[in-house]
Amino acid sequence: MWQPKAIYISENGTVAADRLANGHVEDAERVMYLRTYLGQIQRATAEGYPVKGYFLWSLLDNFEWAEGFTARFGIHYTDFATQQRIPKLSAAWFKELIARNALV
């Protein structure tokens, strides 16, 4: 039976069709993805799996080898022309999750 001492989840996230509209990005599908994924991590720890860390991928939209600059992965929208960074709905959600230290 597999009994790891520690499990760290690194670079977990999802691509979404993020669109900047009126200075905001409403990436609800990313929020739902993260909420579902973190719920399963919570379940795993309740079942005794030693999950010790989780690292969200990615903080910023950036260049990806397979997608170039066309896909959006970050929780902050990057305007590649100006380099302005705009927090998405998912950034606000993740910030609140961290502040509460709870998934509700």
Mean pLDDT of 8-13: 94
Q: Which residue has the tokens 């302005």?
A: 84
Chain Cα centroid distance, residue 54: 10
What amino acid occupies position 51? V
Distance CA 71, CA 88 (A): 15
Mean pLDDT of 89-93: 98
| 19-74 tens-digit pLDDT | 999 999 999 999 999 999 999 999 999 999 999 999 999 999 988 888 888 899 99
Distance CA 90, CA 1 (A): 37
Distance CA 40, CA 44 (A): 6
What residues contact 33, with CB distance under 8 A and at least 6 apart? 13, 14
Chain Cα centroid distance, residue 77: 13
Kindly report the pTM of this predicted structure: 0.91
